[in-house]
Amino acid sequence: MKPSRVKDLLIVILLVLLVAGISHFVITNPLGPSRILYYGEAFITQWETRCEEGAPEWMPEVQRYATRNMGAPASQLAVVMPGGEQHHCETGWKDGFWGQEPLSHNVRFRFASTTKTVTAIAVLNLINQGDMALDDKIVEVLELEGELKDPRVGDITIAHLLSHHAGWDRTRTQDVMFMMNTTPWCPYEPQELTRTGLMYAPGEKEAYSNLGYCLLGLAIEKVTGQPFREHMSSAFGFGSTTLQFVDGPYQPDEPIYDFRHENFYMPSYIEGFDFQAISSSAGLSGSALDLAKLVSSSLESGPLTILDGNMNSDCNPASIQECYGYGLYRYQPSEQASPLYIHGGKLPGASSAIIVTPDRQVIVWVGAGVPRPGSNALQEFYDFIRDKAGVVRH
């Protein structure tokens, strides 16, 4: 065979292998091409960052980093200083990549589990007012009667619920609050608590619990005599802010959420969750600035605040989402590093973070997307913020 024909044959074989490889990749990784494309989109979008005049230099740096690494083509960043000074930045477009409407500071994002911090603030406010106590037993607060299937349920206190020490463990069983197309018993049938079994004795082990914060929502209702959503709106003046509870369907004042880094959920997830039930654990939405202002304002009240609670118990502060106190957890990668007090949030296509520094600087980030599956992006994001925001050890 002539050398030229051998060369042509090799080229054909290489082309066939290339096409076959690409086809195999697309078939076995249907979201793969769009995930790869995100890198190009993010490189462009990061420069569509707009900060109000006077914002600290680190804020646009954080926004550009988040765009590249947090899987969110649209996001907001806000900071409220201890003295009340506030700033905000926005990146991307409300209506998708290279859209017609640049993202503004009053677009409403789904907060997901950062809602828990606001619920914790509401509980602590009631405790500070003398309407509730940390050591109140939840079965007594809810006035539940009858024999307990697991006697340990009677020992669960408000403090246990706030700090995820009530005794449930969603890693060992299903999360009753987020079972697709299933109505959870909380908050509709509180008596079901008496028929619940625990994995651990209350206070024995920390295990993140959406159910615990649902029960805190019921406690708020019992103590105030108001529906949870109504009390929260009144107590925090939602009417003059962007803060609202989510009912499921996407609204015109929300951004387009990016689902390409989800392995399971798509935009239709809204049909499978009971958004009324998750009001106190993951149901709030609003702008980053309004959330930052609410959290910052709460730190001025007392004596109890979300910076209290035992964040020094038997836990590893070098890992994120451990060492919970009352609505935040302590993250401290080393003894030499300054701690951050954090709560993160994730719903399909949406992520968020509340970060409080030792000097009570409140930083809130919300994004219309989620990080790459299996990445360490979240912890790296927190470390980046620590470095850029000039957090110092106190």
Residue closest to 158 by CA, chosen among 134, 177, 176: 134
Q: Average pLDDT for residues 70-75, to the nearest whole number?
A: 97
**Is the separation of the CB atoms in 295 and 289 below 8 Å?**
no
User: Whole-angstrom Cα distance, residue 219 to residue 203?
Assistant: 19
- As a whole-number percent, the residues of the chain with pLDDT over 70 amount to 91
Kindly list the domain boundaries of the chain, sorted by start residue: 51-388
Query: Is the pLDDT at 77 greater than 60, yes or no?
Result: yes
pTM value is: 0.91
Q: Average pLDDT for residues 305-316, to the nearest whole number?
A: 84
**Residue 163, helix vs strand vs coil:** coil
Tens digits of residue pLDDT in 37-72: 999 999 999 999 999 999 999 999 999 999 999 999
What integer best gives the mean pLDDT of the chain?
Answer: 91
**Is the separation of the CB atoms in 58 and 49 below 8 Å?**
no
Q: Average pLDDT for residues 13-18, to the nearest whole number?
A: 50
Q: Which CATH number fits domain 51-388: 3.30.930.10, 3.40.50.10490, 3.40.710.10, 3.60.15.10?
A: 3.40.710.10
Query: Is the pLDDT at 170 greater than 60, yes or no?
Result: yes
Query: Is the pLDDT at 90 greater than 80, yes or no?
Result: yes
CA 68, 69, 71, 73 torsion-angle sign: negative
The confidence score (pLDDT) of residue 95 equals 94
Q: Average pLDDT for residues 334-357, to the nearest whole number?
A: 95
